[in-house]
Amino acid sequence: MSTIPLPAPGIAATDDLLHRVDLAIRQNPHLSRHQVFCQEESGIVILHGRVSTFFQKQMAQESLKKLDGVEKVINQLEVDWRSSVQV
């Protein structure tokens, strides 16, 4: 008889939180067309990527702070104003 190992405690919750964080970023109208990536561990979310304005950087952080399970947001997004300039 073979057994299937159960996931470690908190793994499913972490996957669910990461999914909700990703969804919040993708649904934020201020972040459309920007590449924002996130990592999560023990309720701490780290944002990576580039946005065009400091406002967008702040909106990314604010949209995650109210999510259940997010203890802290570390915002490492880079502001690159040139990415919004049309050539």
Domains of the chain in start order, with CATH, are 11-84 (3.30.1340.30)
Residue in this structure with the two tokens 């949209």, named with its chain if needed: 63
Instruction: Tell me: pLDDT of 17 over 80.
Output: yes
- pTM score, whole prediction: 0.74
Question: Averaged over 28-55, what is the pLDDT?
Answer: 89
- CA atoms of 51 and 34, how far apart (whole Å): 6
β pairing state of 35-41 and 72-75: unpaired
Instruction: Tell me: pLDDT of 87 over 90.
Output: no
Instruction: Tell me: pLDDT of 9 over 80.
Output: no
Collect all residues with Cβ–Cβ distance below 8 Å to 23 and sequence separation of at least 6. Answer: none
- CA atoms of 66 and 83, how far apart (whole Å): 28
Question: Averaged over 11-37, what is the pLDDT?
Answer: 82
- CA atoms of 45 and 70, how far apart (whole Å): 7
Q: Which pLDDT belongs to residue 2?
A: 36
Chain segment 63-83, per-residue pLDDT in tens:
999 899 999 999 999 999 876
